[in-house]
Structure 1
Amino acid sequence: MDPLRLVGTWDFRREVQDHRDGSVYTARGEATFRAEDDGRIRWTENGTLTWPAGSTPVTRTLFLVREEPGGLGSPSGWRVTFEDGRDFHPWTAGAVEHLCGRDLYQGGMALPPGPPRSWELSWRVRGPEKDYTMRTRYSRPFEVEVAPL
């Protein structure tokens, strides 16, 4: 899916299941996809992470970047990078992997055909530092239609 179709605001709900101690965390917030002048798409998330003992604000920024000719070969022609420019993974509906130190992120996106109203991203993370499953559902905010007076 062309990530330009995601430009705008999305609500997100994320669940993180820690397989080491059985903890479950949830995050809710807003994700914004904004086309930048340099051709990248800025992907910003702001929300609140909650667990039984409390909550904390969370934020992150990623970028969707068009690949240069002769690049790593993402099927979509786009890649996801971290805010500092480090490569994360190809932008594709297929399975993706990312090695973070000695921890392996294995994930995938469920991107619907046609104009998206929602989509999902999931990760299974394993390694000496991490062992969790994270699922995020993005959906367009509910829009109220107001009849003219």
Structure 2
Amino acid sequence: MGEFWPVPDVLAFLAGRWRVRRSVRDRASGHDGRFTGTTEFRPLDGGGLLHVESGTFVWRGVARPAERTLRFLPGSAPGTADVRFADGRFFHGLDLSTGRHVAGHPCAADLYRGEFTALDAGRRRTVWRVGGPAKDLVLTTDYDRED
């Protein structure tokens, strides 16, 4: 993937509903999993977007419902966002003005390194590489706009 699609306003770009397909590879155990579902970015009072993801996660042949909620708030620079967990803790920044952004997030002794790419107006991808004493994972998520 060498072509990125510049996004002048990440919140405007994300707003709406997306189909989600995620692969999860545990490099330590060799196990693979997958998530399929939807992500919706809804307006928040006071600005920003509420990110609500729900679907089914299949791990080692067992399917379970899965969901998560994040808040995408206006960032310090125009067109950027601060991504926060549902409880308000900072997760990472997001700036897709070049079509690509790399972010890191420490979680206990593990480090999450995310690469975010906009492919066009209706497609984007996120790849998280998680490494440390507890985890050795690669999570690749493809998003396709529904609306």
Root-mean-square deviation (CA, aligned residues, Å) is 1.7
Runs of 4+, deviation exceeding 3 Å: 74-77
Other-structure match for 1:81: 84
Matched pairs, number: 135
Deviation at 1:58, TM superposition (A): 0.3
* Secondary structure of residue in 2 paired with 1:94: strand
Q: Distance in 2 between matches of 1:105 and 1:83?
A: 18
Other-structure match for 2:145: 140
* Secondary structure of residue in 1 paired with 2:119: coil
Other-structure match for 2:4: none
- Give the letter aligned to residue 112 of structure 1: L
Q: Distance in 2 between matches of 1:36 and 1:100?
A: 26
Other-structure match for 2:18: 10
TM-score between the two structures when normalised by the length of structure 1: 0.84
Deviation readout 1:36-93 (Å, 9 max, x if unpaired)? 122020111000001342110000001111135xxxxx68431111111111111122
* Secondary structure of residue in 1 paired with 2:13: helix
Conserved? CA contact 1:31–1:43, under 8 Å? yes
Structure exhibiting the larger radius of gyration computed from Cα positions: 1
Tell me, which stretches of 5 or more residues in structure 2 are unaligned? Answer: 1-6
Q: Distance in 2 between matches of 1:128 and 1:39?
A: 38
TM-score between the two structures when normalised by the length of structure 2: 0.85
- Give the letter aligned to residue 18 of structure 1: D
Q: Distance in 1 between matches of 2:75 and 2:116?
A: 19
* Secondary structure of residue in 2 paired with 1:39: coil
Q: Distance in 2 between matches of 1:109 and 1:130?
A: 21
Is 1:20 aligned to 2:28, yes or no?
A: yes
Conserved? CA contact 1:4–1:35, under 8 Å? no
- Give the letter aligned to residue 108 of structure 1: E
